[in-house]
Chain A
Amino acid sequence: MLFPAPSPPRRPSRVVITGAGILTALGQGWKPNADGFRAGSTAFRRVSLFDVSRQRVKVAAEADLPATLPSTRLSARQIARLDRPSTMLLWAALEAWQQAGWEATEDLPLVLGTTSGGMSLGEDYFRQAVQATGRHRQQATRALQYQSQVQARLVLDALGFNGPITIISNACASGSNAIGHAWEIVRSGQSDRVLAGGYDTLSQMVFSGFDALQALSPTTCRPFDAGRDGLALGEGAALVALETLESARRRGAAILGELAGYGTTIDQHHLTQPHPEGDAAAAAMTLACDSARLTPEDIDYINAHGTGTPLNDSSEALAIQSWAGRRAATLPVSSTKASIGHLLGGAGAVEAVVCLMALREQWLPPEIVFETPDAACNFPIVRQPQDARVNVALSNSFGFGGVNATLVLRRWT
């Protein structure tokens, strides 16, 4: 029963990550992404998925999907109906699942974050409805498959498990909120295991929307750079397999890292602009670290939200400064949106996996394109590929609408 729920354990469980799956414009799977992020590779190119000829900006980090699908339990009919977001979701879920070594079960929650999961199908529906009036072919399928919960159910069917599906749509914080929500489920004893993450794909409407807002960079996305002039969009998916430490040990599973803390707040300043002082962002970092029983002195790296827009980055820089205090001066920060763009609802999940990679392989992801630090940045930006001792990483995600989320990940040795 969701209510009344079983009493939580006297001591919250430690939550570890035993599987991680990722698909971005850098590639499908851990290795190409780890290699790319470690080197600071960038993956932007002219958008081919829809017409951008009349857009101010014409590039994004468009992902290449593998030519063939992995073998799963999906029926031929389900496979035939897989759209781009579902396919990305499936690849990331399968990698996390296989890495965790989980087996089919009847009670495994799935928590996903997305902002526009099936938007491209919605666009197809709209175009046919207004441009080919009277033609109804495939509209019923689009109306159904467009919905995120239907895409989520494909993951259940593909991997052979069942359990409650929760879809969080807190704009660009969705992926982090989904993983944080899953962390709370495991920690509070509601479930021993949760599969969680986020996804979003490029769509014409969202691309056009950010372009209309003049939020897209007409040059190069350079988060925290004094000359930054906007963000770049990307697409992808990432999922993590979370479980209690006891569960992982009982199974003898390889532990990739620990999800140690989570904080979320709401900034009511403006629908699309953060509070200029970054108050709510700083509060999210504080809450996350408090829940992990850590202080800024314990943090070795911040994967910033760092969209590359003037307003976000100055606000986040002030938030980091006010939260970290003197520690800020030596605390390495970077935004991997410089490599793969902003994945919106998928961003927080992908960036959590990037942090996991940094913790596992002991490096920091650089922003190769970074040139001149913004005056508000009183912390070092990681500009070159470098090995580093990284024990604790913090990942920030801040969304349209004001929801902020911060995850704290710890190295597992």
Chain B
Amino acid sequence: MSTIYICGLGAVSPAGWGVPALREALNKGEPLPLQSLDRPGGQKPLRARLVPSPAARPGFLAHQRLRRTSPITHYSAAAALEALATAPAVRDGKLRLGLVVSLQTGCVHYCCRFYDETLRDPATASPLLFPETVFAAPASHVATLLEHVTLAYTLVGDPTAFLQAVALGVRWLEEKRVDASLIIGAEETHWILADALWHLEREAVFTGGAGALCLSCDPQLSVGVQLAAITDPHTYSARLPRGRAARAMRDQLDGSNSDLLCDGLGGGPRANAPEAAAWADWTGPRLSLKRTLGEGLMAAAAWQCVAACDAVAGGRFAAANVSLVGGSQQAIGARFVAANRMPAATT
């Protein structure tokens, strides 16, 4: 077993572009303002929390490959570059980098635009849009932007797949196939996603953005946090309902009530019930960031991990647990601790 250090964090959220904006919003603890998303047909607008425009046009948008890309790629790229800012050796191409991008809904803006054009007349549907519809597009663009990516995967699933992506990045590190792993979770906001969420979970507010973690075995690169555990993925099935899966995940996570719990509560009572029950006995500090930010699916899972690591890195907590109870796949959790809290394992 290797010791896995967190060597960078990145976030784009409705709170703004960057981890400081996320931290500030979460510290305030107040739900961010809601915006309206129009849907066709003049129906009642949908509620959402949109990512604000960046203060300045991001420099990476000048890159030839990123000129026509969709918001999900912009968010992913910004989170990636922020996560690598504290690891210049990785950013500057001195180390081999593995990239895992995880998505639930993917490149919906371009999918909807292209399919709309197809329905109007396929003979005139734009060939520029279609390549940007594939799940693999953000990973491809970010890999090109960073230049020195040697392995790249895109994982799809419910938000719990973010921690599977982290586990994959860890494995690449342990097998010495890469020197650092960059894990991104991202979604973009679109009326059709808010509409779909409304059908599944009326109380939830859709949002988008991205979160990123950079991992390495090198303690010199650490921001003061290390990965202590990722639980088994407890997959829902006919024999393992959500509640039992959530409980099984919770039982695999250590922790005392002085640790922080970053949970995924924030939707309606029905959606929250399994996770709330699994952590009912938790009396320690708890951060339910979806109450502030909204339901960002894979991005929200990434923010949970970013917020947990940021809290530990900032010395506010010695350890933080992340609880992900997905809507349609599995329950999975992780634990992050201060880097000096665990003895270095033999690599």
Question: Contact residues of A with B, CB < 8 Å?
Answer: 1-5, 7, 54-56, 73, 75, 114-115, 122-123, 125-127, 129-130, 133-134, 136, 139-140, 143-144, 147-150, 153, 156-157, 162-171, 177, 184, 188, 204-205, 208-214, 264-266, 268, 271-272, 399-403
CB of B118 within 8 A of CB of A213, answer no
Provide a sorted-by-A list of 20 A–B residue pairs whose CB atoms are within 8 angstroms.
Answer: A1-B232, A2-B231, A2-B232, A4-B229, A4-B345, A73-B238, A133-B43, A136-B199, A149-B328, A153-B329, A162-B240, A169-B106, A169-B134, A169-B135, A169-B156, A208-B122, A400-B137, A401-B136, A402-B144, A403-B152
Q: In the assembly, what is the distance between CA of A132 and CA of B42, in Å?
A: 12
Identify B231's interface contact among A1, A123, A130, A153, CB under 8 A: A1
Chain B residues, Cβ within 8 Å of A3: 4, 166-167, 170, 227, 229-230, 334
CB of B151 within 8 A of CB of A264, answer yes
Q: In the assembly, what is the distance between CA of A124 and CA of B149, in Å?
A: 37
CB of B41 within 8 A of CB of A133, answer yes
Q: In the assembly, what is the distance between CA of A164 and CA of B331, in Å?
A: 10
Proximity string of chain B (135-159) to chain A, C-beta cutoff 8 Å, 1 when within and 0 when not: 1110111011001011111111110
Q: In the assembly, what is the distance between CA of A125 and CA of B164, in Å?
A: 28
CB of B1 within 8 A of CB of A268, answer no
- Which residues of B, 76-127, contact A by the 8 Å Cβ criterion? 103-104, 106, 111-112, 114-116, 118-119, 121-123, 125-127
CB of A150 within 8 A of CB of B39, answer no
CB of B328 within 8 A of CB of A147, answer yes
CB of B149 within 8 A of CB of A209, answer no
Chain A residues, Cβ within 8 Å of B316: none
CB of B157 within 8 A of CB of A213, answer no
CB of B116 within 8 A of CB of A204, answer no
Chain B residues, Cβ within 8 Å of A400: 131, 134, 136-137, 140
CB of B156 within 8 A of CB of A149, answer yes
Nearest Cβ distance between residue A137 and chain B, in whole angstroms? 10
CB of B125 within 8 A of CB of A126, answer no
Q: In the assembly, what is the distance between CA of A211 and CA of B119, in Å?
A: 14
Residue of A whose beta carbon sits closest to that of B328: A150
CB of A401 within 8 A of CB of B149, answer no
Chain A residues, Cβ within 8 Å of B334: 3
Q: In the assembly, what is the distance between CA of A157 and CA of B236, in Å?
A: 10
Q: In the assembly, what is the distance between CA of A129 and CA of B230, in Å?
A: 39
CB of B1 within 8 A of CB of A5, answer yes
Chain B residues, Cβ within 8 Å of A402: 140, 143-144, 152
CB of A169 within 8 A of CB of B122, answer no
CB of B140 within 8 A of CB of A271, answer yes
Nearest Cβ distance between residue B66 and chain A, in whole angstroms? 11
CB of B152 within 8 A of CB of A266, answer yes
B133 interfacial contact with A, CB 8 Å: yes
Query: Given that A165-B235, A400-B131 are contacting pairs, would A266 and B151 also be in contact in the complex, using a CB cutoff of 8 Å?
Result: yes
CB of B122 within 8 A of CB of A211, answer yes
Query: Given that A268-B144, A268-B147 are contacting pairs, would A133 and B39 also be in contact in the complex, using a CB cutoff of 8 Å?
Result: yes
Q: In the assembly, what is the distance between CA of A403 and CA of B125, in Å?
A: 26
Chain B residues, Cβ within 8 Å of A170: 136, 139, 152-154
Chain B residues, Cβ within 8 Å of A164: 164, 232-233, 235, 330
Chain A residues, Cβ within 8 Å of B153: 168, 170, 177, 403
Chain B residues, Cβ within 8 Å of A165: 157, 233, 235, 329-330
Chain A residues, Cβ within 8 Å of B43: 133-134
Closest A-B pairs by Cβ, 8 of them: A133-B41, A401-B140, A209-B130, A401-B136, A169-B135, A143-B196, A2-B167, A140-B199
Q: In the assembly, what is the distance between CA of A148 and CA of B139, in Å?
A: 19
Identify A268's interface contact among B149, B164, B239, B328, CB under 8 A: B149
B192 interfacial contact with A, CB 8 Å: yes
Chain B residues, Cβ within 8 Å of A125: 192, 196
Chain B residues, Cβ within 8 Å of A156: 235, 237
CB of A401 within 8 A of CB of B137, answer yes
Query: Given that A122-B111, A164-B232 are contacting pairs, would A134 and B41 also be in contact in the complex, using a CB cutoff of 8 Å?
Result: yes
Identify B155's interface contact among A134, A166, A205, A265, CB under 8 A: A166
Nearest Cβ distance between residue A123 and chain B, in whole angstroms? 6
CB of A143 within 8 A of CB of B171, answer no
Proximity string of chain B (232-253) to chain A, C-beta cutoff 8 Å, 1 when within and 0 when not: 1101111110000000000010
Chain B residues, Cβ within 8 Å of A147: 104, 157-158, 328
Q: In the assembly, what is the distance between CA of A162 and CA of B245, in Å?
A: 12
Query: Given that A123-B115, A266-B149 are contacting pairs, would A115 and B232 also be in contact in the complex, using a CB cutoff of 8 Å?
Result: no
Query: Given that A54-B121, A167-B157 are contacting pairs, would A1 and B229 also be in contact in the complex, using a CB cutoff of 8 Å?
Result: yes
Q: In the complex, given contacts A139-B196, A205-B133, what are 9 additional A-B residue pairs having Cβ atoms less than 8 angstroms apart?
A: A4-B345, A56-B123, A126-B115, A129-B39, A153-B235, A166-B157, A166-B164, A401-B139, A402-B140
CB of A1 within 8 A of CB of B39, answer no
Chain A residues, Cβ within 8 Å of B164: 2, 164, 166
Identify B114's interface contact among A129, A134, A205, CB under 8 A: A205
CB of B240 within 8 A of CB of A171, answer no
Chain B residues, Cβ within 8 Å of A213: 127, 130-131
Q: In the assembly, what is the distance between CA of A130 and CA of B175, in Å?
A: 48
B163 interfacial contact with A, CB 8 Å: yes
Query: Given that A153-B237, A205-B115 are contacting pairs, would A4 and B1 also be in contact in the complex, using a CB cutoff of 8 Å?
Result: yes
CB of B141 within 8 A of CB of A169, answer no
Identify B136's interface contact among A167, A188, A403, CB under 8 A: A403
CB of B119 within 8 A of CB of A127, answer yes
CB of A168 within 8 A of CB of B232, answer no
Chain A residues, Cβ within 8 Å of B119: 127
Identify B134's interface contact among A5, A115, A133, CB under 8 A: A115
Nearest Cβ distance between residue B93 and chain A, in whole angstroms? 12
